Structure 1
Amino acid sequence: MRILQLTSDWKWTGPAEPLVHAVVGLRARGHVVDAAFPEPPAGHAGALLERAGERGVEPAHVLVRQQGFVPLRDGAEVRRLRAFLRARDHEIVHAQHARGHLLARLAARGTRARVVSSWSHGDPLPSGFWNRWLYGPRGCDGLTVLSERLAESARARLGGPRERVGVVPGVVDASRFAPRAAPESLRRELGLGPDQRVIGVVARLQPHRQVELILNALARALGQAPGLRLLVVGRGTRAREVLEEPVAKLGLGSAVVRAGYRSDDYLDTLALMDALVFLVPGSDGSCRAVLETMSMEIPTIASRRGILAETVSNGETGALCDETPESLAAAYCDLWRDPARWQARGKAARRRILEHHTIALQAERLERHYRLVIETGGER
């Protein structure tokens, strides 16, 4: 097949990494796959252009960097994209974000390209008119979601042939995110002792992330589990409000270790963790941090929000908790008392990744869905 993977966002966020994985995985299966996305503003390091380039994915078509969709403004952009679809003879254009979706839908008119969109959130598709049009049979030829639960909900709300909604779970590069031992030098740098158990937080420090709840649970657990440490990996403009002030108020002191934003040693930093605690999904509904740590044999302490209850198997690959200090503290204390059990959960987490969330499996599922969309798409 000849496929275009398209996003209208220049940032390395949300569905950006799954898009790059899709290009790599589908090319490995013998398909001709192009990518289209905007260039970042000058001086922005770590954007999609840079990260995709590190994986051998360059944009074959560069979109104009804009917000939203304005017909008068974006007419030329649609015509440029249509000319590209015709020149490359794409059969599928898989679009991310509403702007990218609309550009693809309009540009595909008069070409043989079928338009596939993604609902990349872990909650069901809202049933409002806009979403029913955008993701329904009038707005796109196919739709991918993260789980069968979400697919059944979308089919019920959108109508159309059942097969136009396909399931493509979240994806992680399991060869990169493989189990490893953390360097002792990094452990010393962060002040972590050999007998301590490390619970990790990987997230932007924003109020909705429930960091204060995680901290309250730690304060409750330390009486029974004095060697617990919370390793916070991430940054945010409201870090003082979200992290520093609650830590001071609860008197947690050295029990909370601030690693900040990590780039070059990100994998080594994850390897310090005995478990990850993750309560609130961000812009990526597949909860990429959970998939990354699971792939490294790190179990998860999670809420039941979004896709988490379908990704984390309670008692097998981690623990699903109520969003209360008592419930989280019980999981923390269990990790302290029985590390061998949690190590076994980490190994089970890695097995789950290899069975459900690899780049090769993502490509296989996308290929199958694209073929169904082409076969059932009818004439334009």
Structure 2
Amino acid sequence: MTPEAAQGTRRLRVGCFLGTDGDYGGAGRILWNVLRHADRIGIEPVAVLSRRGPGVAELEARGIPWTVWPKEDQGVAAAAFRAVRIRGLVREHDLDLVHCLSGAFGWRAWELRALRRAGCPVLVHTQRPIPAASPYLRHTDAVAACSAYLAGELRCDAPVHAVHDLVDAERMQAGRSLRAELGIPPETRVVAFVGRPRTAKGIGLFLEVAASGLLPDTRFLLSVQRGNRLPDTWDEETLRARIAAAPQVELLGHVARIEDVYATADALLLPFLGEEPCPAVLEEAAVAGVPVVTSRGGSVREYVEEGLSGLYVASPSVQNLAEALARVLEGRPAADRRGGIAAWGRERFLERPIRTLRAIYRALGGGADRTAEAC
């Protein structure tokens, strides 16, 4: 029984502005996983898509009402019109509060001003730093940052809460091994890299470790995920040229069922070189029960329980990374190790965020004393 049912109160109706038309991973997955766990959080969600798209099928299968709010950056002349429309949307769907991803309204975000003036509480969720002058910090009632590290970097008058992203545990623990498909024998050790092909993500070091020969009888899988192209992103020609020097590496490209990569790997190697604000791959790996070898930059230390879910390497050289991987791969039997990691990951990246979000929603929406009136 949910807390709301036990207390005899109605659930808060939360408008989740996704800023996208489907779950494509990355930051956009944050609110999709909120929708998937709405019953456990104790809310009645209304999904607001940027346009009709692939996500509609899942929403309708789950019985979640949805509507469309285009992400636009129109000028001041359009601000009044959009302000009237957003208030109408709130009334139409009887919303108690709005939970939006940073960027969901475009960079001007006229809607945030209108919601505040109408007295509708707003929670902004972010996976990355936001400039202090941004409307997403100036016109919100609270901010959910995906790590304590990121929360400490934000400069905002509104309360800032550290809320690790919810992970879809059922999905991450339901992967199927790709070993047979890839021709990898059961006894061969498998190390994977999951992420965007960027220098800051440590893809170069991953390939150097694979080519070093320090881990014989080991296959390396490279799952390159799609995303915005940043200056340090490798193009396909560079990527394939580097892989040619490491025949132990299998380029998988973008894998939609990323849980299958986790089910195949004995360990992940993610030697981040920058200050990572929110490495979601570490959350997914933990819930899937896969140990990781990584660095400590930014928020990474919040995502790995050293000695249980993985190891940190203070100076990520090829030698140090290979030695850490050898220790992880020679640990306890795989099933035993994965079960312990998954239990820790589920509590850290599912149960705890559910409790935190429930408390934030109640504080913003009025909790048990909230009446049935919309904003």
TM-score class, shorter: 0.7 to 0.9
- Corresponding residue for 2:239? 243
Question: Given the alignment of the two structures, is residue 176 of structure 1 paired with residue 171 of structure 2, yes or no?
Answer: yes
Supply the distance in 2 between the matched residues of 1:56 and 1:303 (Cα, whole angstroms). Answer: 41
* Corresponding residue for residue 130 of structure 1: 133
Q: 2:321 aligns with which of 300, 312, 328?
A: 328
| 1:228 has 2:235 as partner | no
Change in Cα spacing, 1:361 to 1:339, as seen in structure 2 (3 Å) is closer
Q: 2:100 aligned with 1:95, yes or no? A: yes
Specify which of 69, 83, 88 is matched with residue 83 of structure 1: 88
Rounded to whole Å, the distance in 2 between the matches of 1:190 and 1:117 is 42
Alpha-carbon distance change, 151 to 5 in structure 1, aligned in 2, over 3 angstroms: same
| Structure 2: unaligned runs, 5 residues or longer | 1-11, 368-374
Per the alignment, residue 179 of structure 2 pairs with: 187
1:298 to 290, 294, 299: 290
Which residue number in structure 1 is paired with residue 142 of structure 2?
A: 142
Name the residue aligned to 2:156. 158
Deviation at 1:172, TM superposition (A): 0.8
Aligned-pair CA distance for 1:317:
0.9
Superposed, 1:300-379 pairs within 5 Å as: 300-321=292-313, 322-336=315-329, 338-340=330-332, 345-358=337-350, 361-374=352-365
Tell me the amino acid that sits aligned with residue 296 of structure 1.
A
Q: Deviations over 1:276-332 (max 9, x none)?
A: 1224499x9543322222212111112223322110122221011233222212222
- Partners of 1:13 and 1:53 in 2: CA distance: 20
Q: Which residue of 2 aligns with 1:20?
A: 32
User: Which residue does 2:201 correspond to in 1?
Assistant: 209
Seen in structure 2, the aligned counterparts of structure 1 residues 110 and 243 have a Cα distance that, compared at 3 Å, is closer
CA spacing shift, 1:158–1:97, aligned 2, 3 Å: closer
Contact 2:273 2:295 in 1 (8 A): no
Consecutive unaligned residues in structure 1, runs of 5 or more = none
Counterpart residue identity of residue 147, structure 1: S
Q: Which moved more, 1:313-322 or 1:360-369?
A: 360-369
Q: Post-superposition shift, 1:58? A: 4.9
Q: Distance in 2 between matches of 1:107 and 1:289?
A: 35
Question: Following the alignment from structure 2 to structure 1, what is the Cα–Cα distance between the partners of residues 333 and 235?
Answer: 33
- Contact 2:97/2:120, CA 8 A, preserved across alignment: yes
> How many angstroms apart in 2 are the aligned matches of 1:27 and 1:130?
35
Matched, 1:273 2:265: yes
Mean Cα deviation higher: 99-108 or 50-59:
50-59
Q: Alpha-carbon deviations, 1:237-279, whole Å to 9, x = none?
A: 955334321122x3x21x111223333x543332110011224
Give the residue type in structure 2 aligned to 1:192: I
| 1:119 matched residue in structure 2 | 126
TM-score by length of 2: 0.79
Q: Using the TM superposition, give the Cα deviation of residue 368 of structure 1 relative to its aligned residue in structure 2, in angstroms.
A: 0.7
Structure 2 counterpart of 1:130, one-letter code: A
Deviations 1:59-106 (A, max 9, x none): 2x311243x453334543332221111233322111112352824413
Q: Provide the C-alpha distance between the structure 1 equivalents of 2:258 and 2:33, rounded to a whole number of angstroms.
A: 19
Once residues 65 and 105 of structure 1 are traced to their aligned partners in structure 2, the CA distance between those partners, rounded to angstroms, is: 13
Distance change (3 Å), C-alpha of 1:369 and 1:110? same
Distance in structure 2 (CA, Å) of the matches to 1:279 and 1:51 = 35
Partner of 1:38: 50
Residue aligned with 2:320, SS: helix
> Residues 169 and 292 from structure 1, CA distance in 2 versus in 1: closer, same or farther, beyond 3 angstroms?
same
| Number of residue pairs aligned between Structure 1 and Structure 2 | 346
CA shift digits 1:27-66 (9 cap, x unpaired):
44543221112126xxx7xx5445655655452x311243
Cα deviations across residues 175-205 of structure 1 (Å, max 9, x unaligned)? 22226662xxx42331212221100111233
Report the residue type matching 2:262 in the other structure: L
Do 1:148 and 1:167's aligned partners in 2 also have CA atoms closer than 8 Å? yes
CA distance in 2 between partners of 1:232 and 1:105 (Å): 40
Aligned to 2:370: none
Q: Secondary structure at the match of 2:26?
A: coil
- Corresponding letter in the other structure for 2:46: D
- Structure 1 vs Structure 2: percent identity of aligned residues? 21
Residue 27 (structure 2) pairs with residue 7 (structure 1): no
Q: Judge conservation of contact 1:211–1:242 (CA < 8 Å) in 2.
A: no
SS of 1:77 mapped into structure 2: helix
Aligned to 1:287: 279
Does the CA contact (< 8 Å) of 1:275 and 1:301 recur in 2? Answer: yes
CA distance in 2, matches of 1:16, 1:281: 24
The residue matched to 2:32 in structure 1 has which SS? helix
The amino acid of 2:97's aligned partner reads I
TM-score w.r.t. the length of structure 1 is: 0.78
- For the 8 Å contact 2:309–2:341, the answer to whether it is kept is yes
Bigger mean CA offset, 78-87 vs 48-57: 48-57
